[in-house]
Structure 1
Amino acid sequence: MIQKKFENAAKAVADMQDGATLLVGGFGGSGLPSYLVAALVEQGAKDLTVVSNNIGAVSDGVAALISNNQVRKIICSFPVGPHADDLIERLKKGTIELEIAPQGTLAERIRAGGAGVPAFYTPTGAHTELGEGKETRTFDGQMHLLEHAIKGDYAFIKAHRADRWGNLIYRKTQRNFNPVMATAAKTTIAEVNEIVEVGEIDPETIVTSSVFVHRLVQAEAQHEGKVLVNE
Protein backbone atom coordinates (compact mmCIF):
# COMPACT_ATOMS: atom_id res chain seq x y z
CA MET A 1 0.00 0.00 0.00
CA ILE A 2 1.32 3.43 -0.96
CA GLN A 3 1.86 5.44 2.22
CA LYS A 4 3.68 8.77 2.06
CA LYS A 5 2.64 10.23 5.40
CA PHE A 6 5.41 10.92 7.91
CA GLU A 7 4.75 11.14 11.63
CA ASN A 8 6.10 14.68 11.85
CA ALA A 9 8.08 17.30 9.97
CA ALA A 10 11.32 16.43 11.75
CA LYS A 11 11.27 12.91 10.35
CA ALA A 12 10.31 14.15 6.89
CA VAL A 13 13.42 16.38 6.64
CA ALA A 14 15.83 14.20 8.61
CA ASP A 15 17.87 13.04 5.60
CA MET A 16 18.53 16.48 4.11
CA GLN A 17 22.24 16.96 3.54
CA ASP A 18 24.58 19.95 3.51
CA GLY A 19 24.83 21.63 0.12
CA ALA A 20 21.32 20.72 -1.04
CA THR A 21 19.21 22.95 -3.27
CA LEU A 22 15.85 23.63 -1.62
CA LEU A 23 12.73 25.12 -3.20
CA VAL A 24 10.43 26.76 -0.63
CA GLY A 25 6.88 27.57 -1.67
CA GLY A 26 4.79 30.48 -0.54
CA PHE A 27 4.17 34.15 -1.23
CA GLY A 28 5.01 35.99 1.94
CA GLY A 29 3.18 34.01 4.62
CA SER A 30 0.56 32.63 2.24
CA GLY A 31 1.17 29.01 1.38
CA LEU A 32 4.38 28.90 3.40
CA PRO A 33 5.33 25.39 4.66
CA SER A 34 6.34 26.82 8.02
CA TYR A 35 6.49 23.54 9.95
CA LEU A 36 8.88 22.03 7.41
CA VAL A 37 11.10 25.13 7.53
CA ALA A 38 11.12 25.05 11.34
CA ALA A 39 12.05 21.37 11.29
CA LEU A 40 14.95 22.10 8.94
CA VAL A 41 16.18 24.82 11.29
CA GLU A 42 16.32 22.19 14.02
CA GLN A 43 17.87 19.61 11.69
CA GLY A 44 20.66 22.02 10.82
CA ALA A 45 21.68 21.20 7.22
CA LYS A 46 24.06 23.93 6.01
CA ASP A 47 25.44 25.47 2.79
CA LEU A 48 21.98 25.36 1.27
CA THR A 49 20.94 27.02 -1.95
CA VAL A 50 17.40 28.22 -1.28
CA VAL A 51 14.94 29.21 -4.00
CA SER A 52 11.97 31.23 -2.79
CA ASN A 53 9.85 34.10 -4.02
CA ASN A 54 10.86 36.25 -1.07
CA ILE A 55 12.76 36.31 2.18
CA GLY A 56 12.16 38.39 5.23
CA ALA A 57 8.39 38.72 4.87
CA VAL A 58 7.76 36.47 7.88
CA SER A 59 10.06 35.33 10.65
CA ASP A 60 9.24 31.64 10.23
CA GLY A 61 10.14 31.55 6.55
CA VAL A 62 13.47 31.50 4.75
CA ALA A 63 14.66 34.28 7.09
CA ALA A 64 14.86 31.68 9.86
CA LEU A 65 17.24 29.54 7.80
CA ILE A 66 19.41 32.56 7.03
CA SER A 67 19.57 33.61 10.67
CA ASN A 68 20.60 30.08 11.59
CA ASN A 69 23.60 30.23 9.20
CA GLN A 70 22.23 27.48 6.97
CA VAL A 71 22.04 29.32 3.63
CA ARG A 72 24.96 29.79 1.24
CA LYS A 73 22.93 31.22 -1.65
CA ILE A 74 19.42 32.57 -2.05
CA ILE A 75 17.61 32.88 -5.40
CA CYS A 76 14.51 35.04 -5.10
CA SER A 77 12.54 37.88 -6.64
CA PHE A 78 11.82 39.95 -3.51
CA PRO A 79 14.74 40.09 -1.05
CA VAL A 80 13.24 42.80 1.16
CA GLY A 81 10.82 43.04 4.05
CA PRO A 82 10.72 43.44 7.82
CA HIS A 83 13.10 40.51 8.39
CA ALA A 84 15.58 41.21 5.58
CA ASP A 85 18.17 43.14 7.63
CA ASP A 86 20.02 39.93 8.45
CA LEU A 87 20.37 39.13 4.75
CA ILE A 88 21.68 42.62 4.01
CA GLU A 89 24.34 42.34 6.71
CA ARG A 90 25.45 38.95 5.42
CA LEU A 91 25.63 40.28 1.88
CA LYS A 92 27.90 43.09 3.06
CA LYS A 93 30.16 40.57 4.81
CA GLY A 94 30.19 38.25 1.80
CA THR A 95 28.89 35.27 3.77
CA ILE A 96 25.86 34.72 1.53
CA GLU A 97 25.22 35.02 -2.20
CA LEU A 98 22.08 36.60 -3.64
CA GLU A 99 20.66 36.05 -7.12
CA ILE A 100 17.63 38.18 -7.99
CA ALA A 101 15.20 37.04 -10.67
CA PRO A 102 12.06 38.86 -11.83
CA GLN A 103 9.04 37.12 -10.35
CA GLY A 104 7.64 35.79 -13.62
CA THR A 105 11.08 34.67 -14.74
CA LEU A 106 11.64 32.88 -11.45
CA ALA A 107 8.34 31.03 -11.78
CA GLU A 108 9.11 30.06 -15.37
CA ARG A 109 12.62 28.87 -14.51
CA ILE A 110 11.12 26.55 -11.91
CA ARG A 111 8.34 25.43 -14.26
CA ALA A 112 10.96 24.72 -16.94
CA GLY A 113 12.93 22.65 -14.47
CA GLY A 114 9.88 20.52 -13.80
CA ALA A 115 9.08 20.20 -17.50
CA GLY A 116 12.58 19.13 -18.53
CA VAL A 117 13.27 22.35 -20.46
CA PRO A 118 16.91 23.32 -19.79
CA ALA A 119 16.65 27.01 -20.72
CA PHE A 120 14.49 29.61 -22.46
CA TYR A 121 14.64 33.16 -23.78
CA THR A 122 12.66 36.05 -22.27
CA PRO A 123 12.67 39.82 -22.86
CA THR A 124 12.19 40.45 -19.13
CA GLY A 125 15.32 42.01 -17.64
CA ALA A 126 16.94 42.90 -20.94
CA HIS A 127 18.83 46.23 -20.89
CA THR A 128 18.94 46.15 -17.07
CA GLU A 129 21.52 45.18 -14.46
CA LEU A 130 19.79 41.82 -14.12
CA GLY A 131 20.73 41.04 -17.71
CA GLU A 132 24.42 41.80 -17.39
CA GLY A 133 26.61 38.85 -18.35
CA LYS A 134 23.75 36.76 -19.70
CA GLU A 135 23.58 35.38 -23.21
CA THR A 136 21.23 37.38 -25.44
CA ARG A 137 19.40 36.87 -28.70
CA THR A 138 17.11 39.09 -30.72
CA PHE A 139 13.59 37.96 -31.67
CA ASP A 140 11.26 40.20 -33.67
CA GLY A 141 13.64 43.09 -33.13
CA GLN A 142 13.63 42.77 -29.35
CA MET A 143 16.49 41.60 -27.15
CA HIS A 144 15.90 38.49 -25.05
CA LEU A 145 17.92 36.96 -22.22
CA LEU A 146 18.74 33.29 -21.92
CA GLU A 147 17.48 32.04 -18.56
CA HIS A 148 18.34 28.61 -17.19
CA ALA A 149 15.90 26.23 -15.54
CA ILE A 150 15.92 25.69 -11.79
CA LYS A 151 15.67 22.23 -10.24
CA GLY A 152 15.89 21.29 -6.58
CA ASP A 153 17.05 18.38 -4.52
CA TYR A 154 14.08 19.07 -2.25
CA ALA A 155 10.92 21.14 -2.39
CA PHE A 156 8.94 22.22 0.67
CA ILE A 157 5.38 23.04 -0.35
CA LYS A 158 2.10 23.84 1.39
CA ALA A 159 -1.30 22.49 0.35
CA HIS A 160 -4.73 22.29 1.91
CA ARG A 161 -5.67 18.64 1.46
CA ALA A 162 -3.99 15.45 0.28
CA ASP A 163 -4.99 11.86 -0.11
CA ARG A 164 -2.56 9.26 1.16
CA TRP A 165 -1.09 8.82 -2.32
CA GLY A 166 -0.10 12.49 -2.34
CA ASN A 167 -2.63 14.06 -4.71
CA LEU A 168 -2.98 17.69 -3.62
CA ILE A 169 -5.49 20.51 -3.68
CA TYR A 170 -4.76 24.05 -2.50
CA ARG A 171 -6.77 26.65 -0.62
CA LYS A 172 -7.01 30.05 -2.29
CA THR A 173 -3.59 31.78 -2.42
CA GLN A 174 -1.72 28.67 -1.35
CA ARG A 175 -1.70 28.05 -5.07
CA ASN A 176 1.23 30.36 -5.80
CA PHE A 177 4.71 28.89 -6.27
CA ASN A 178 3.76 25.60 -4.64
CA PRO A 179 2.42 23.69 -7.69
CA VAL A 180 5.38 24.47 -9.94
CA MET A 181 7.93 23.76 -7.21
CA ALA A 182 6.33 20.36 -6.61
CA THR A 183 7.28 19.32 -10.14
CA ALA A 184 10.87 20.56 -10.06
CA ALA A 185 12.48 18.65 -7.17
CA LYS A 186 13.87 15.18 -6.71
CA THR A 187 12.05 14.95 -3.37
CA THR A 188 8.90 16.98 -2.77
CA ILE A 189 7.62 17.21 0.80
CA ALA A 190 4.10 18.56 1.19
CA GLU A 191 2.81 20.09 4.42
CA VAL A 192 -0.97 19.79 4.38
CA ASN A 193 -3.85 20.55 6.70
CA GLU A 194 -5.68 17.28 6.09
CA ILE A 195 -4.91 13.82 4.72
CA VAL A 196 -7.82 11.72 3.47
CA GLU A 197 -8.26 8.35 1.86
CA VAL A 198 -7.87 7.79 -1.87
CA GLY A 199 -11.13 8.61 -3.61
CA GLU A 200 -12.24 11.29 -1.17
CA ILE A 201 -10.85 14.08 -3.37
CA ASP A 202 -12.69 14.84 -6.60
CA PRO A 203 -10.16 14.04 -9.36
CA GLU A 204 -11.26 17.16 -11.24
CA THR A 205 -10.03 19.37 -8.38
CA ILE A 206 -6.55 17.88 -8.04
CA VAL A 207 -3.86 20.44 -8.88
CA THR A 208 -0.68 18.52 -8.05
CA SER A 209 -0.63 14.87 -9.01
CA SER A 210 0.71 12.28 -6.59
CA VAL A 211 3.52 11.40 -8.98
CA PHE A 212 5.26 14.63 -7.93
CA VAL A 213 4.81 14.20 -4.16
CA HIS A 214 7.09 11.93 -2.17
CA ARG A 215 6.33 12.78 1.48
CA LEU A 216 3.38 14.16 3.41
CA VAL A 217 3.24 15.90 6.78
CA GLN A 218 -0.06 16.83 8.39
CA ALA A 219 0.28 20.29 9.92
CA GLU A 220 -2.83 20.12 12.08
CA ALA A 221 -1.37 17.19 13.99
CA GLN A 222 1.53 19.38 15.10
CA HIS A 223 0.04 22.67 16.25
CA GLU A 224 -2.50 21.34 18.78
CA GLY A 225 -5.48 23.29 17.54
CA LYS A 226 -3.72 26.61 16.95
CA VAL A 227 -4.75 28.53 13.84
CA LEU A 228 -2.12 28.60 11.12
CA VAL A 229 -1.26 32.07 9.88
CA ASN A 230 -0.31 30.83 6.40
CA GLU A 231 -3.47 29.00 5.45
Structure 2
Amino acid sequence: MICVIFDLDGTLTDSREGILKSIKYALEKMEQPIPDEKTLQLFIGPPLTDSFRDHCHMTEEQIEEAYGYFKERYDATGKYENAVYPQIEAALQALRKTGAYVGIATAKPEEQAKDIIKHFKLDQYFEVIRGANRDIGLIHKEDILREALQDMNTITAQKYKISRWYMVGDRKYDMEAAKLHNCVAMGVSYGYGSVEELEAAGADYICENPSDLIVNIAVDTLL
Protein backbone atom coordinates (compact mmCIF):
# COMPACT_ATOMS: atom_id res chain seq x y z
CA MET A 1 0.00 0.00 0.00
CA ILE A 2 1.26 3.50 -0.80
CA CYS A 3 0.64 6.89 0.77
CA VAL A 4 0.82 10.17 -1.17
CA ILE A 5 1.13 13.45 0.74
CA PHE A 6 0.48 16.67 -1.19
CA ASP A 7 1.56 20.23 -0.64
CA LEU A 8 -1.35 22.67 -1.13
CA ASP A 9 -0.32 26.04 -2.62
CA GLY A 10 1.21 25.58 -6.05
CA THR A 11 0.47 21.86 -6.07
CA LEU A 12 -3.27 21.34 -5.58
CA THR A 13 -4.42 24.93 -6.01
CA ASP A 14 -3.18 28.11 -7.65
CA SER A 15 -3.45 30.46 -4.68
CA ARG A 16 -1.15 33.16 -6.00
CA GLU A 17 -3.77 35.93 -6.33
CA GLY A 18 -5.11 35.74 -2.79
CA ILE A 19 -1.70 35.38 -1.15
CA LEU A 20 -0.05 38.24 -3.03
CA LYS A 21 -3.00 40.62 -2.61
CA SER A 22 -3.03 39.89 1.12
CA ILE A 23 0.74 40.45 1.42
CA LYS A 24 0.39 43.79 -0.38
CA TYR A 25 -2.52 44.70 1.89
CA ALA A 26 -0.40 43.99 4.99
CA LEU A 27 2.54 46.04 3.72
CA GLU A 28 0.32 48.94 2.70
CA LYS A 29 -1.31 48.99 6.16
CA MET A 30 2.17 49.25 7.67
CA GLU A 31 3.33 51.80 5.08
CA GLN A 32 6.12 49.44 4.12
CA PRO A 33 7.59 49.26 0.59
CA ILE A 34 6.16 46.48 -1.58
CA PRO A 35 8.80 44.21 -3.17
CA ASP A 36 8.86 43.67 -6.93
CA GLU A 37 6.78 40.85 -8.43
CA LYS A 38 9.74 38.47 -8.71
CA THR A 39 10.47 38.82 -5.00
CA LEU A 40 6.78 38.51 -4.08
CA GLN A 41 6.68 35.11 -5.79
CA LEU A 42 9.24 33.91 -3.25
CA PHE A 43 6.69 34.41 -0.47
CA ILE A 44 4.65 31.48 -1.80
CA GLY A 45 5.79 28.23 -0.25
CA PRO A 46 7.86 28.94 2.88
CA PRO A 47 6.31 30.15 6.15
CA LEU A 48 5.06 33.70 5.67
CA THR A 49 6.83 34.92 8.80
CA ASP A 50 10.15 33.75 7.33
CA SER A 51 9.41 35.61 4.10
CA PHE A 52 8.62 38.87 5.88
CA ARG A 53 11.92 38.50 7.70
CA ASP A 54 14.00 37.52 4.66
CA HIS A 55 12.52 39.78 1.98
CA CYS A 56 11.23 42.78 3.95
CA HIS A 57 13.91 42.75 6.66
CA MET A 58 11.34 43.16 9.41
CA THR A 59 11.88 42.92 13.15
CA GLU A 60 10.01 40.21 15.07
CA GLU A 61 7.49 42.80 16.26
CA GLN A 62 6.90 44.01 12.69
CA ILE A 63 6.54 40.42 11.48
CA GLU A 64 3.75 39.80 13.99
CA GLU A 65 1.98 42.99 12.90
CA ALA A 66 2.34 42.14 9.21
CA TYR A 67 1.11 38.58 9.77
CA GLY A 68 -1.93 39.92 11.58
CA TYR A 69 -2.85 42.23 8.71
CA PHE A 70 -2.23 39.46 6.17
CA LYS A 71 -4.51 37.10 8.09
CA GLU A 72 -7.18 39.80 8.38
CA ARG A 73 -7.60 39.98 4.62
CA TYR A 74 -6.70 36.38 3.75
CA ASP A 75 -9.20 34.81 6.15
CA ALA A 76 -12.01 37.03 4.87
CA THR A 77 -11.28 37.08 1.14
CA GLY A 78 -7.86 35.91 0.03
CA LYS A 79 -8.21 32.19 0.65
CA TYR A 80 -11.03 32.06 -1.88
CA GLU A 81 -9.08 33.97 -4.55
CA ASN A 82 -7.86 30.57 -5.55
CA ALA A 83 -8.45 27.82 -8.11
CA VAL A 84 -7.88 24.07 -8.26
CA TYR A 85 -5.37 23.20 -10.96
CA PRO A 86 -6.75 21.35 -14.02
CA GLN A 87 -6.54 17.54 -13.74
CA ILE A 88 -6.07 17.61 -9.95
CA GLU A 89 -9.42 16.09 -9.07
CA ALA A 90 -9.01 13.41 -11.74
CA ALA A 91 -5.57 12.59 -10.32
CA LEU A 92 -6.98 12.32 -6.80
CA GLN A 93 -9.77 10.06 -8.04
CA ALA A 94 -7.22 7.84 -9.80
CA LEU A 95 -5.12 7.55 -6.64
CA ARG A 96 -8.09 6.61 -4.51
CA LYS A 97 -9.15 3.96 -7.01
CA THR A 98 -5.77 2.27 -6.50
CA GLY A 99 -6.41 2.16 -2.75
CA ALA A 100 -3.67 4.69 -1.99
CA TYR A 101 -3.91 6.72 1.17
CA VAL A 102 -3.78 10.46 0.48
CA GLY A 103 -3.00 13.43 2.70
CA ILE A 104 -1.86 17.06 2.78
CA ALA A 105 1.12 18.70 4.49
CA THR A 106 1.20 22.46 3.98
CA ALA A 107 2.94 25.43 5.58
CA LYS A 108 -0.42 27.25 5.37
CA PRO A 109 -2.24 27.42 8.73
CA GLU A 110 -4.15 24.18 9.20
CA GLU A 111 -7.61 25.71 9.61
CA GLN A 112 -7.14 27.77 6.43
CA ALA A 113 -6.07 24.66 4.55
CA LYS A 114 -9.10 22.70 5.73
CA ASP A 115 -11.44 25.57 4.80
CA ILE A 116 -9.97 25.75 1.28
CA ILE A 117 -10.13 22.00 0.68
CA LYS A 118 -13.72 21.90 1.92
CA HIS A 119 -14.63 24.97 -0.19
CA PHE A 120 -13.48 23.18 -3.34
CA LYS A 121 -15.19 19.92 -2.26
CA LEU A 122 -11.90 18.00 -2.25
CA ASP A 123 -12.05 16.91 1.40
CA GLN A 124 -13.51 13.53 0.41
CA TYR A 125 -10.12 12.51 -1.04
CA PHE A 126 -7.94 13.03 2.04
CA GLU A 127 -7.49 11.04 5.24
CA VAL A 128 -5.14 13.61 6.76
CA ILE A 129 -4.78 17.40 6.40
CA ARG A 130 -1.89 18.86 8.36
CA GLY A 131 -0.86 22.50 8.28
CA ALA A 132 1.06 25.02 10.32
CA ASN A 133 0.10 25.79 13.91
CA ARG A 134 2.11 28.70 15.26
CA ASP A 135 0.70 28.23 18.77
CA ILE A 136 2.63 24.97 19.17
CA GLY A 137 5.64 25.94 17.05
CA LEU A 138 4.59 23.85 14.05
CA ILE A 139 5.78 26.11 11.23
CA HIS A 140 8.25 24.48 8.84
CA LYS A 141 7.50 21.88 6.20
CA GLU A 142 9.75 19.14 7.58
CA ASP A 143 7.92 19.27 10.94
CA ILE A 144 4.48 19.46 9.35
CA LEU A 145 5.26 16.49 7.09
CA ARG A 146 6.47 14.50 10.11
CA GLU A 147 3.12 15.10 11.83
CA ALA A 148 1.19 14.13 8.68
CA LEU A 149 3.15 10.88 8.37
CA GLN A 150 2.55 10.05 12.02
CA ASP A 151 -1.17 10.73 11.63
CA MET A 152 -1.32 8.50 8.57
CA ASN A 153 0.56 5.72 10.33
CA THR A 154 -1.97 5.87 13.16
CA ILE A 155 -4.89 5.63 10.74
CA THR A 156 -3.47 2.75 8.72
CA ALA A 157 -1.74 0.74 11.46
CA GLN A 158 -4.68 -1.60 12.06
CA LYS A 159 -5.23 -2.29 8.35
CA TYR A 160 -2.14 -2.03 6.16
CA LYS A 161 1.55 -1.35 6.35
CA ILE A 162 2.57 1.54 4.10
CA SER A 163 5.30 0.24 1.81
CA ARG A 164 6.06 3.47 -0.06
CA TRP A 165 5.64 7.12 0.90
CA TYR A 166 5.47 10.04 -1.55
CA MET A 167 5.67 13.79 -0.97
CA VAL A 168 4.37 15.92 -3.85
CA GLY A 169 5.20 19.62 -4.03
CA ASP A 170 6.35 22.55 -6.12
CA ARG A 171 9.14 24.05 -3.99
CA LYS A 172 12.49 22.98 -2.60
CA TYR A 173 11.03 22.87 0.92
CA ASP A 174 8.80 19.97 -0.15
CA MET A 175 11.68 18.04 -1.70
CA GLU A 176 13.96 18.63 1.28
CA ALA A 177 11.27 17.49 3.71
CA ALA A 178 10.61 14.40 1.59
CA LYS A 179 14.27 13.41 1.70
CA LEU A 180 14.48 14.01 5.44
CA HIS A 181 11.56 11.66 6.06
CA ASN A 182 12.50 8.98 3.49
CA CYS A 183 9.67 9.79 1.09
CA VAL A 184 9.94 9.70 -2.68
CA ALA A 185 10.25 13.36 -3.69
CA MET A 186 7.78 14.19 -6.47
CA GLY A 187 8.26 17.70 -7.84
CA VAL A 188 5.63 19.48 -9.91
CA SER A 189 6.82 22.11 -12.37
CA TYR A 190 3.43 23.78 -12.93
CA GLY A 191 3.55 25.47 -9.51
CA TYR A 192 5.71 28.29 -8.14
CA GLY A 193 9.15 26.67 -8.13
CA SER A 194 11.41 26.07 -11.12
CA VAL A 195 12.63 22.74 -12.46
CA GLU A 196 16.15 23.83 -11.49
CA GLU A 197 15.05 24.47 -7.90
CA LEU A 198 13.35 21.08 -7.65
CA GLU A 199 16.30 19.21 -9.16
CA ALA A 200 18.79 20.96 -6.87
CA ALA A 201 16.67 19.95 -3.87
CA GLY A 202 16.83 16.28 -4.88
CA ALA A 203 13.52 15.62 -6.63
CA ASP A 204 13.25 11.96 -7.69
CA TYR A 205 10.64 12.82 -10.33
CA ILE A 206 9.44 16.06 -11.89
CA CYS A 207 5.90 16.18 -13.24
CA GLU A 208 4.70 18.74 -15.77
CA ASN A 209 1.05 18.15 -14.87
CA PRO A 210 -1.06 16.05 -12.46
CA SER A 211 -1.46 13.28 -15.04
CA ASP A 212 2.33 12.87 -15.09
CA LEU A 213 2.18 12.42 -11.34
CA ILE A 214 -0.05 9.36 -11.63
CA VAL A 215 2.13 7.87 -14.38
CA ASN A 216 5.34 8.41 -12.40
CA ILE A 217 3.91 6.89 -9.23
CA ALA A 218 2.74 3.87 -11.23
CA VAL A 219 6.20 3.48 -12.75
CA ASP A 220 7.92 3.94 -9.39
CA THR A 221 5.84 1.24 -7.71
CA LEU A 222 6.98 -1.25 -10.37
CA LEU A 223 10.70 -0.58 -9.82
| TM-score, normalised with respect to structure 2 | 0.36
Q: Which has the higher strand share?
A: 1
| TM-score, normalised with respect to structure 1 | 0.35
